[in-house]
Every structure is written in C-alpha cells, then in structure tokens.
Amino acid sequence: MDILHAIILGIVQGLTEFLPVSSSGHLEIAKVLLNDESIGKQSMLMTVVLHGATALSTIYIFWKDIKDIIKGLFSADKNKVSFSLKIILSMIPSVIVGVVWEKQIETLFGDNLELVGAMLIITALLLYCADKAKSTDKNVSFVHSIIIGISQAIAIFPGISRSGATISTSVMLGVDKEKSARFSFLMVVPLILGKILKDILSGDISFTSTESLPLFFGFISAFFVGLFACKLMIKIVKKSKLKYFALYCIVVGGSIIYYSVYNA
C-alpha cells in the first residue's frame, strides 16, 4: 500500500468512525474506488494502526471523562461508580459476539457491496428515526446501557454505523442527545483497545520497514481527522441534524447496490 492510499484510508477511517455513516462500509467502498485489493482486506497492521489512531482521538477529546470512569470503579461516589458500570455493561454484547462468532464475522468483509449497501440503508432508517425523537434530559440507565450495547454488537455488520446505531438507539430510548453521543464514544474505547491488544498478542501482525511511511501517514491522517469528526458529531447530534446523514446513507447504499448488481 502506498502513502497516498494510506492517507486516504486514514481520512476515511477518521471521518466515518465518528460520523454515522459506517467506517467498515466506507473502507469497502474505498477498496473498489481505489482498485486496491489490499484495502478491503487490509493488512492486520494497517487495521490496528487506523483504529488505534481514532481510539487515541477519542481519548484525547474525552480524557477527563475517561479518567472519571477509571476513578469511578474505585470511588465512593455512587454516580461515578454507576456510570463506570454502565460503560462496562455496554461492552458485554460486543465481547460475546466477537468471541463466539469471530470467524463468521470475518467472512462478511471483502467484496460484499450488496450487504454494505443494504446495511447503509438500515443505518439511514435508524438515523431518521433518531432525528425525529424528542429531546429530553434523561441519563443512560443500566437497562439502556445493555440495549445500546446490543446495538453496538449488531453494528459489527459492514455498513451499519457503530456511532449511528448506538446514538440512534440511545436517543430513541429517550436519553439526552448530547449524553447519547458522549456515551457512544466512550463505550467503544475499551473495545478498540482490547481488540488492538488481542491482534498484537495473536502473532498475526507482521511488519516490514517498507510499511513505515504508509503506516505513519495513515495514523496521522486518521488521528487529526478523527479529532475534527468527533467534535463535529457531538454538535450535529445536539442540533438534530442526523437526517442529512440518513439521506447520504440511502444515496450511497442504493448507489453501491446498483453498481454491484450492474457490474456483476
């Protein structure tokens, strides 16, 4: 993979990890547009680097919240303990799905544009429903955290936006929109870091010196674009502008289904 492709992938990952349009789906689309077979499947190392970059973006923006979550596990403050436990609860469904069905999930990726298109349309429906939901000042409850966690697990499908699914589910449950976005971004950090650690310890990652520059530029572009996209997404959710992303997902989803069928 050359430097230009790495930068493009970093931009795609940085934007779509936070904006509700599916990072996995757009990486599949990028593979087709750039005509590079290594992009859709990606080297394990590039995958780890790009996800590590966007995880670092989240940590940077929510550093105070993350410190509070860690401290909350050992705090006498019931509210802090409660929030930390909710974050842990929200992770359980994805952990179960990832452990039990890891091999089956891997088969969903790579040259499966019809699936990506269909899942993008489902994402659009979720975003539209969330955009119409009434604004409240509710907090995430323990039951909410499990339901939101299930939506995150379902978002493993390429084309279903993780942030779109979790934020939409949270908002439709009646949770305050800004709190929904905050919870959505915080709940994924431990999962991403855990997955990165698992991939590193698995021994499946290989590295050659020729990959250094593409990895560096991919990381930098994903990190800085991620900072921008994360802040932007919080503002978008607060202002109830998700319908525009719903329209985008329908157009892109329908277009790639047409493209895939027409070129079959």
pLDDT tens string for the chain (264 positions)? 678 888 988 998 898 888 888 877 777 777 667 765 554 444 567 777 888 899 899 899 989 888 888 887 777 778 888 888 999 999 999 888 877 776 776 666 666 778 888 989 999 999 998 888 877 778 899 999 999 999 999 888 888 888 889 999 999 998 988 888 889 988 888 888 887 777 677 666 655 555 788 889 999 999 999 999 988 888 888 777 888 889 999 999 999 888 888 876
How many Cβ atoms sit within 10 Å of the Cβ of residue 149? 25
* Partner residues linked to 175 by β-bridges: 138
At 98, list the tokens: 């990832």
Quick one: which of 19, 172, 47 has its CA closest to 109? 47
Q: In 35-112, where does DSSP find H-type helix?
A: 37-41, 44-61, 63-72, 78-100, 102-106
How many Cβ atoms sit within 10 Å of the Cβ of residue 63? 10
The number of domains in the chain is 1
What's the domain range around 145? Answer: 3-262
pTM: 0.82
Contact 183, 170 (CB under 8 A): yes
Contact 186, 59 (CB under 8 A): no
Rounded Cα–Cα distance for residues 242 and 248 (Å): 10
Query: What is Dmax (Cα atoms) for the chain?
Result: 61
CA 101 to chain centre: 19
CA distances from 17 to 143, 171, 175, 189, 244 (A): 25, 19, 22, 12, 17
What is the predicted pLDDT for the residue at 38?
53
